[in-house]
Amino acid sequence: MKIVKQDTKDGIMEVVPEILDDLWHLSHIVEVGDNVSSKTTRRIQDTAGDKLRSDRGVKKTFFLGIDVESISFHIFTGKLRLTGVITRGPEDLIPLGSHHTLEVKLNTPLVIKKEKWSKYAVNRVKQAMESSKKLSAIIIVLEDDVATIGLMRQYGLEYYGPIHGGISGKRIIDKNRNKKVQFFYEQVVDSISKFENLQNIIIAGPGFVKNDFFEFLKDKHSDLAKKAILESTGSGGRVGIQEVLKKGTVEKLTVENRISLEIRAVNDLLTEIAKNSSMAVYGEKEVIDAINMGAVEKLLILDTVVPTKDMINHMEIVENMKGEVIVISSQHEGGEQLKSLGGLAAILRYPLS
């Protein structure tokens, strides 16, 4: 993300989202009640006298501002939509006070105006700016002639595949089997090579196919092999990818990986809850009471709870008292587990009772 303009006095910041992760960050930076403006396209109905034309009108692009009423980020399509009441725009084309949905576009400036920029929102902008355009890691899980790929993005885990090789079993005589294996491996390589500046590759799976693929990389694609490590799992497919995440393998490779850190934080919380040690609380009332008592060492809050529960002030209290705030993405298993606890939990410095 790039900051084009920042006016702290008037609470205005103009940003340009450059990658998909930026849209995810913006879905948590923009809050209900903010005023946002950007270029948008809307179909304008032409009229001929008092008679409405029979066609559907003409699409026109213009600069438009709204007071935000709802925010939605669609992870599978990568679209961020902000809906609200129009406060700025060409009045000859569109009436002020009517509703409109802005679809935030990559490489298109977005102006955000807040009554007050919270520490959380400012830090989120900095995090988006500092995040690299490269993926933190790619997990490739191989089983027989099937490869499933997990792309480690900041907003969550994106699955790619499966890729099928159509290779016959070793006991079946097939003179072209080796060629098919090589072609299958090249398909996998082609799938991961399109990502720029790839840092880490985890090759995993329950059998020996992962080892064969790793040897293939060392022989044919040494540049990728240098970035790869092997990891054993009990299962293939998406289950195997989740096994890799739970082992903390990605976390060992890069401390910047949010997903691995979030899942580890949720697991630590669940461990404390299972021990009945009184060192963990969950639920809105219990957590807020702990925050007000200064007892929170680590606050875990689901990303969807941040804007809906007005938790910004509570998050700032925790940070001001040297506690850690971890926003957990709702798009992975850890987020689902936290959601089942009410979306809000904390690990404490000391027991409350």
36 touches 68 (CB < 8 A): yes
Higher pLDDT, 159 or 295: 295
Kindly state the percentage of the chain with pLDDT values over 90.
44
Closest to 68 (Cα-Cα) out of 103, 29, 116, 31: 31
Rg (CA), the chain: 25
HSE (side-chain half, CA atoms, 13 Å) at 329: 24
Burial class for 166, CB neighbours closer than 10 Å (0-12, 13-18, 19+) = exposed
Which CATH fold would you assign to the domain 137-253?
Answer: Nucleotidyltransferase; domain 5 (3.30.420)
162's enclosing H/E stretch is strand 156-164
Residue 91 φ/ψ region, left for φ over 0, alpha for ψ in the -120 to 50 degree band, beta for the rest: alpha
Length of the chain equals 353
What is the CB-side half-sphere exposure of residue 253 using CA atoms within 13 A? 28
Cα gap 57→45, rounded to integer Å: 4
59 forms bridges with which residues in the sheet? 43
At 285 the pLDDT is: 93
Q: Comparing 81 with 119, which gets the higher pLDDT? A: 81
State both tokens at 229. Answer: 């490590």
- pLDDT of the residue at 243: 92
Sheet with 228-232: strands ordered across: 156-164, 146-153, 137-143, 201-205, 228-232
- Which residue shows structure tokens 């501002």? 65
- Residue 20 above 80 pLDDT? no
Q: Which of residues 40 and 254 earns the better pLDDT score?
A: 40
Contact assessment for residue 323 and residue 297, using Cβ atoms and an 8 Å cutoff = yes
Q: Check pLDDT > 70 for residue 257.
A: no
What is the per-residue pLDDT across 157-172, written as a single tens digit (0 to 9) for each? 778 889 988 776 555 5
Structure tokens at 337: 């587990």
Sequence spans of domains, the chain: 2-46+60-130, 137-253, 262-348
Q: Which CATH class is domain 262-348?
A: alpha beta
Element (H, E) at 2: strand 2-7
Ordered alpha helix ranges (H), 64-208: 119-130, 177-193
Distances in whole angstroms, Cα of residue 129 to Cα of each of 2, 26, 88 = 6, 11, 28
Contact 178, 212 (CB under 8 A): no
Q: Which residue has the higher pLDDT, 176 or 148?
A: 148
Average pLDDT over residues 317-338: 89
Section 134-148 average pLDDT: 86
Average pLDDT, the chain: 84
pLDDT above 70 for 15: yes
What confidence score (pLDDT) does residue 269 get?
95
Q: What is the pLDDT of residue 307?
A: 66
Predicted confidence band of residue 9 (pLDDT cuts 50, 70, 90) = confident
Q: Is the peptide bond before 95 cis (omega within 30 degrees of 0)?
A: no
pLDDT score at 49: 47
pTM for this one? 0.56
Residue bearing the bigger pLDDT, 95 or 223? 223
What pLDDT is recorded for position 134?
Answer: 59
List Cβ neighbours of 200 (8 Å cut-off, separation of 6 or more). Answer: 136, 137, 138, 227, 228, 229, 250, 253, 254
Q: Tell me the C-alpha distance between 195 and 183, whole Å.
A: 20
- Residue whose structure tokens are 């993300």: 1
Q: Which CATH architecture has domain 2-46+60-130?
A: Roll (2.30)
Q: How confident is the model at residue 247 (pLDDT cuts 50, 70, 90)?
A: confident
**148 vs 66: CA distance, rounded Å:** 42
pLDDT tens string 166-205: 776 555 556 677 888 899 999 999 988 877 667 789 999 9
User: For residue 235, what are the contacts with CB-CB under 8 A and spacing of at least 6?
Assistant: 143, 206, 243
**Residue 31 and residue 307 in contact, taking contact as beta carbons nearer than 8 Å:** yes
The confidence score (pLDDT) of residue 287 equals 95
Paired sense of beta strands 137-143 and 47-48, if any: unpaired
